[in-house]
Amino acid sequence: MKRICTICARGGSKGVKNKNIRLLEGKPLIAHTIAHAKESGCFEGVVVSSDSDEILSIARDWGADYSIKRPDALANDTAAKIPAIKHALLEAEKIYDMTFDTFVDLDATSPLRFAADVENAINLLESNQVSSVITGAPARRSPYFNLVERTQDGRIALSKKLEKPVVRRQDSPQCYDMNASIYVWNRNCFLENPTVFYTDTLLYEMPEDRSQDIDCELDFKIVELIMNERQ
């Protein structure tokens, strides 16, 4: 199987300024994800896509095989990530002059995963021959028990209701928080229908202490704390 890893990192960040290159445990945040991809030993190559020349330069310094300049139209504040991932995949195939079987996108803001998580998520996809695999951790809140939403008339109701009401959270269907850490696709399925969820999508479960995604300053502090405890 031929595999490629993409890491998409925009230059602009609202929640944490310059978060993709901010130092974490002595190295840029994106460097942790590049290391996970390399250490997994799963890929023909690891490519980083960004609209920022600084991010691309730092990524190459920390082991990325190639850098891909992302078009401005795929890098503004309203741009969806899937088109950027598709662009990175197609550009990587031009660089390597090959068609990949499996491709993985790793989020640069999820530095607590292990390289083994990357390998295991890929194995889950390939051994089951499914279209995609996502990663997530058991959810603290359940839409069947204690997750609510506001209706159009301003009232509050459970997000999801069962015919028989759930009286204990433990009795509700198992739910997961997507941790935005690892996305694995069958390349042909993705290009035919570029999306995250398919009818056969599977989930690779990760523990909460490997699932923190950095989206604000508090997240950064939590990740630093967990990394310090690991050491």
Q: What are the pLDDT digits (tens) for 33-73?
A: 999 999 999 999 999 999 999 999 999 999 999 999 998 77
Q: Report how far apart, in Å, the C-alpha atoms of 19 and of each of 2, 59, 93, 166 are.
A: 31, 13, 28, 40
pLDDT in tens, 186-218: 999 999 999 999 999 999 999 999 999 999 999
- pLDDT (0 to 100) of residue 14: 67
The answer to the question of residue 64 being in a domain is: yes
Q: What is the CATH number of the domain that holds 219?
A: 3.90.550.10
Q: In 84-109, which positions are buried (b, 16+ CB within 10 angstroms) versus exposed (e)?
A: bbbbbbebbbeebeeebebbbbbbbb
Whether residues 25 and 123 fall in one domain: yes
| 140 CB burial (10 A radius; 0-12, 13-18, 19+) | exposed
Whether residues 165 and 182 fall in one domain: no
Whether residues 78 and 188 fall in one domain: yes
Whether residues 128 and 197 fall in one domain: yes
Whether residues 205 and 164 fall in one domain: no
Whether residues 7 and 87 fall in one domain: yes
Q: Between vectors from CA 84 to CA 37 and to CA 61, what angle results, nearest 5°? A: 40
Q: What is the pTM of this model?
A: 0.93
Whether residues 44 and 24 fall in one domain: yes
Place of tokens 């490629």: 4
The answer to the question of residue 9 being in a domain is: yes
